[in-house]
Chain A
Amino acid sequence: MHKIKRMLSRLGAGFVNKVWRLGAGARLFWLTLISSGESFRRFRLTVREVYFTGVMSLIIILVSAFFVGMVLALQGYQTLQKYGSSEAIGVLVALALVRELGPVVTALLFAGRAGTAITAEIGLMKATEQLSAMEMMAVSPIARVIAPRFWAGVIAMPILATLFSMVGILGGYLVAVPLIGVDAGAFWSQMQANVDWRHDILNGVFKSVVFGVACTMIALFEGYDAPPTAEGVSRATTRTVVTSSLAVLGLDFILTSFMISV
């Protein structure tokens, strides 16, 4: 009886904690939105963060995109060739990348590469009381630190996802056409016939914008909320990756189900 009571109260505490964190995250999101004027008036602040989150993530994004595209082409060819339609490899690679893999894998890599950096940076800023120092000087840390990073993530993610799709398709092309020997004309023409600008490409970009908001906001919140200790920052960094990945995959399902039902 005592055990059950303890289990139930632990469950309740966990649930209350989750709801509290969700509310605190939503509050931080709202505060960021209303105090983001400075990150556009002093656009240099945002540009600096675009450099650290976007440009520095280019290498990992481009290299993984290239390999993902090549593997897709190899695997797709194995199956398509059984049905005598190996020319459709272009469609397969392009649709898989533009609709799903581009936005989702970019967001997962972004959470690992840039999200953790943001969390650790803000967590340490808090631990070393830089954020409190700013408040003492009447500088809002949300407007000065959080908002530029948020908008930088939202700007960088769609760019990274588009580059991912494009480089992935180039990787698929390299495997399919020179290596396997699929006809180059059929590869591109089938792709163009089946990939729609509005329903496939723009929807993919829209997805990546949503993922950009989610990943960056989660990373910022975890950093802002981290206990100001070494252990607290390390745990917050881990939570950033776990929560961002789950949020991206969940949001992806929801967005896709809305997009497909059209």
Chain B
Amino acid sequence: MDRTTIDLWVGIFVALGLAALLGLAMKVGNLTTSSIGETYYVTANFENIGGLKPRAPVKSAGVVVGRVGEISFDPKTYEAVVSLNIDKRYGFPQDTFANIYTAGLLGEQYIGLEAGGDEQPLKNGDKITQTQDAVVLEKLISQFLYSKATESDDQPEKKSASTETDADSLDASPLDKISHK
């Protein structure tokens, strides 16, 4: 095997490796999409953030405009403090509404921003005051089951004393009551 052939093959090998890394970065990874350039950050307090994670997308009208930065806990108000890094290109008014949504039924959670009508834009370090918590699926299901259970108790006997029906529905499993219906 002569020297130039070996050099040529090793050159091809290394070039292939670099091309594969570039391909992974551009085509597979989010190097192109995650570089949102210059950002400014605002904070928002939520009572419950559900499964929101750092680096989750911040979307407005479905378009990614930023990413969630840090998530911390405020021991004074017992609320979660979420910092949002938003692209400098997109300005939002002071009374912007921040919601935590879920992509699909069980998908990842993201923050949706709905612009208000204020003239003043949000600046670096500002706080979004109007927020809506994440919908926790277990809470929703237990509320639904509870209301179903009380409903099916009320209908046959028409009892209005709510304390008694509450006690009844706690005794038996709510699922049994639904299957009776």
Contacts and interface: CB of A to CB of B under 8 A. Distances in A.
A196 B24 CA distance: 10
A188 B27 contact: yes
Contacts of B3: 44
B10 A54 contact: yes
Interface residues of B, number: 25
A162 interface: yes
Contacts, number: 78
A179 B10 CA distance: 35
A191 B28 contact: yes
Interface stretch (B15-23, B85-93, B116-124): B15-23
Interface string A55-76: 1001000000000000000000
B13 A192 contact: no
A95 to B, nearest CB: 9
Nearest to B32: A192
A158 B6 CA distance: 19
A201 interface: yes
Interface string A174-206: 000000000000001001111111001100010
Given A192-B29, A195-B30, A197-B30, A165 B24 contact: yes
Interface string B125-163: 000000000000000000000000000000000000000
16 contacts: A44-B3, A47-B6, A51-B9, A58-B13, A159-B14, A159-B17, A159-B20, A160-B17, A162-B21, A163-B17, A163-B20, A165-B20, A165-B28, A166-B23, A192-B29, A197-B25
Interface of B: 1, 3, 6-7, 9-10, 12-14, 16-17, 20-21, 23-25, 27-34, 55
